[in-house]
Amino acid sequence: MTPINKVLLSKNTNINPIWIMRQAGRYLPEFREIRKNNTNFIKLCLNVNLSSQISLQPLKRFNLDAAIIFSDILMLPYGLNQKVDFKKNFGPKLGELYLNQLEKVNEIDFVEKLQSVYSIVKKVSSNQILKNKNTIGFIGAPWTLLVYMINQQSPKQDLKKDFFKDTLLINKTLSIIEKFLKIHIKKQVDNGASVIQIFDSWAGLLKEKDLPKYIYAPTLNLVNYIKSLNVPVICFPREIKNYIEFCDIVKPDAINIDYNVNPKDILKDIKIPVQGGLDPKILLTDKENLKKEATKYLDIFKDHPYIFNLGHGVLPETDPEMVDYLVQIVKNY
C-alpha cells in the first residue's frame, strides 16, 4: 500500500507522507522555462507531453509521496464551452455564461474536448517514478466553479453584487456542473488517478446559512460518487466557517485544513485523517523557522492520521531549496 493510502485507508499514525499543493508550478525554474514558451495556459494544460513532464518535475527534485496532475479546475468550464483565458498579472477571465448553450453540451463532446487531460493522467500515473506513490486527480467543487463561471473572474476583490439574483441560472448551472464533474472524475480514475482532491477555494465566501445548499449537498453527492469508485477523496473547503460540521455531513476520507484554523481545535473535534495546514508564507522565511513551524503540525498530529501539506498553494516566490528542506524535515521526523 502507498504511504498516502496507509494514512487514508488504514488510518496509520506512524508515517507522515507529504505532497504540496501547487507543487507543479511557478516556483520551479524548470516550470518557468516551459511556461515562457507556452503563453497560452489552456493549450499548455492540453499538451500531453509538456503537462506530463510538468506533473513529474517536483518528483524528480523532492522525495514527495504523490504527483498531482498539472491541469486546472477551470478546465471544466472550458469543457462546457465557456470561454476561459488566463491573463498575465490578472488571473482567469471567463466569457459570458449562456444557459441555453450550457444545456446543449453532451458527454461525448465534453470528453473529446478534455481527452488530453485524461491522457496526461494516464501518462503520469504509469511513470516508474510513481511506484508506490499516488497520482492525485482533482476537481473544483461545484460552489467554487459556480463562482468562476458566474463571476467570470476571481472573486478575490468581490463577488458581483447581483451574483445570487438569477436563481434559475444558479440552480441549473449547479446541476450541470455536478453532472459533468462526475464524468471528469470517472475519466481521471479510469486513467490512473488513485486519489481525488476536491478544491473548494471559495468556501469561505459563504455565510453559514448558505452552506447546506451550495457546499454540503453538492459536495456530499460527489464524495459519495467518488467513494463508489473505490477511490479515496480529500476535501479542501478553504476557510469554511465550520470545518467540523462539514466533516460530519460530507464525510470525506480526509480533510485539508487552511492556515487560519487552529490545528489543535481540529485535532480535538475531527476524527477523520487530516492533511495540510502550514502557512505557505513560512517557506519564505528561514530554515530554522520552517523547522519550528512544520514540527508544530507534526507534533500536534503525531497520534492522528496526517498527510503533510500546506494550508494553500506554494507561493511562486518560494525557493525550491526550502521545499526540499521541508520534505526532509517531514521524512526525518
Q: Which residues contact ligand 1CP by CB under 6 A?
A: 21-26, 35, 41, 68, 70-74, 86, 91-92, 138, 154, 156, 199, 201, 313
Which amino acid is present at 322? M
Are 15 and 302 contacting, i.e. CB atoms less than 8 angstroms apart?
no
- Closer to ligand 1CP by CB, 138 or 216: give it: 138
Give min distance, CB of 199 to ligand 1CP, in A. 4
Other beta carbons within 10 Å of 127: 16
Shortest separation between residue 202's beta carbon and ligand 1CP, angstroms: 8
CB of 87 to ligand 1CP, least distance (A): 9
Q: What's the min distance (Å) between Cβ of 171 and ligand 1CP? A: 23
Picking from 256, 298, 324, the residue whose alpha carbon sits closest to that of residue 60 is 324
| N-to-C CA span, the chain | 21
Nearest to ligand 1CP of 145, 270 (CB atom): 145
Cβ distance to ligand 1CP smaller for residue 26 or 213: 26
Tell me how far CA of residue 277 lies from CA of 180, 253, 261, in angstroms. Answer: 30, 17, 8
Residue 10 CB, shortest distance to ligand 1CP, in Å, is: 26
Please give the Cα distance from 144 to 139 (Å, whole number).
Answer: 10
Nearest CA among 203, 190, 261 for reference residue 235 = 203
Cell digits of residue 328: 526532509
